[in-house]
Amino acid sequence: MTDLTSFIAGLPKAELHVHHVGSASPRIVAELAARHEGASPVPADPAALADYFAFRDFGHFIEVYLSVVDLIRDDEDVRTLTYEVARELARQQVRYAELTITPYSHVRRGIPAPAFCAAIEDARTGAAADFGIDLRWCFDIPGEAGLAAAEETLRIALEERPAGLISFGLGGPEVGVPRPQFKPYFDKARAAGLHSVPHAGETTGPETIWDALRDLGAERIGHGISAARDPQLMAYLADNRIPLEVCPTSNVRTRAVERIEEHPLPVLVAAGVPVTINSDDPPMFGTTLEEEYAVAARLLDLDKPGVAGLARAAVQASFLPAGGKSALLAEIDEYAATS
């Protein structure tokens, strides 16, 4: 496995399901906590964050996640966070990443939408120059905040329209947050040229995924692992080449899956469902994209060519223009042939 670990480390990659705040390294979270000491329960000691990030269930994860969101108080915090997330992704040979960002959470905490968007764009430009990584944005609705959040997220997306914005999503808890109510907002986002990438079927059943497909026009599904319980749905995803953004360790850490050995990834792959491997909220879940590739390799019993196939699948499922896809696929092919 050591040889495969080394292969994964050098493999050029695309990351399609990774959250902005959830990617903050312990160092950055601790720095922000120290900067706002006394105003947050988040520890200012990086060593203490592992215990703070020990989640009881998905609800507790959301609670902790929002406490970290509370640490981001101004546009300079936003710029620093975004740039450092890009640095960590680039360290793992990620050439292209679609970062899920929840502007509503920051704007309602007092950061003006124009300043927020300017900060992420400044970080995107800097990261491209300094690390050679191409960042793009998915603006997502925090589902637990309801239709007011959907309205505001859509407004920010369409009025500010930062250059890196390519897609519109829906995150947060699934239980008690029906997908169909967000249809009008996704309709408008799609009409404006944004791709549809809602979360569905992580902590709820296959019907949530069907709702995301029927009502939200989903082109990819965030998580989507409960599709493994519905053969008809798996056949639909396979036939229509609708990829799932699978995040194995995340599913175990939030208790969506009891044990990694029980993860439905092999069932999905055996049914021909397109899957991509992603890290979700890596520091919070004690993982990296490299580790997620290693986990997937174990679950699927993959060798080097098989792992390279995972990297290709992510590029194919991405919203990169054709030229960018071809270039990154060629880089993966060259690496696989010589490593």
In the DSSP assignment, the letter for residue 280 is: B
Long-range residue pairs from 70-73, CB within 8 A, at least 24 positions apart, any chain: 70/39, 70/40, 70/42, 70/109, 71/29, 71/32, 71/33, 71/35, 71/36, 71/40, 71/42, 72/21, 72/32, 72/106, 72/109, 72/111, 73/36, 73/109, 73/110, 73/111
Tell me how far apart the alpha carbons of residues 305 and 289 are, in angstroms, rounded to a whole number: 18
Each residue of 14-47: pLDDT tens digit? 999 999 988 888 888 888 888 877 667 888 888 8
- Radius of gyration for the alpha carbons in the chain, expressed in angstroms and rounded: 19
When divided into structural domains, the chain yields a total of: 1
Instruction: State the pLDDT at residue 63.
Output: 84
Order the strands of the 221-223 sheet from edge to edge. Answer: 199-200, 221-223, 244-246, 275-277
Instruction: Examine the residue annotation and report whether 202 is marked as an active-site residue of this protein.
Output: yes
**Consecutive H or E run containing 163:** none
**58 vs 239, residue with greater confidence:** 239
- DSSP string for residues in 125-151: HHHHHHH--EEEEEEEEEGGGHHHHHH
Residue given tokens 């905490």 in the structure block: 109
Instruction: State the pLDDT at residue 26.
Output: 80
pLDDT band at 331 (very low <50, low <70, confident <90, very high): very high
Q: What percent of the chain has pLDDT over 70?
A: 99
Instruction: State the pLDDT at residue 52.
Output: 83
Each residue of 207-229: pLDDT tens digit? 999 999 999 999 999 999 999 99
- The yes-or-no verdict on residue 185 having pLDDT over 90 is yes
Q: Which domain holds residue 265?
A: 2-338
- The yes-or-no verdict on residue 64 having pLDDT over 90 is no
CATH classification at residue 19: 3.20.20.140
Please list, in sequence order, all residues whose beta carbon lies within 8 angstroms of the beta carbon of residue 164, skipping any fewer than 6 positions away. 120, 121, 124, 135, 136, 137
Each residue of 104-148: pLDDT tens digit? 999 998 999 999 999 999 999 999 999 999 999 999 999 999 999
Order the strands of the 94-101 sheet from edge to edge. Answer: 13-19, 94-101, 134-142, 165-171, 195-196
Name the catalytic one among 202, 219, 291, 292: 202
In the DSSP assignment, the letter for residue 56 is: S
pLDDT band at 55 (very low <50, low <70, confident <90, very high): confident
63 and 103 Cβ atoms separated by less than 8 Å? no
Instruction: State the pLDDT at residue 38.
Output: 65
Instruction: State the pLDDT at residue 292.
Output: 98
Q: What is the pTM for the complete model shown?
A: 0.93
Q: Over the chain, what is the mean pLDDT?
A: 94
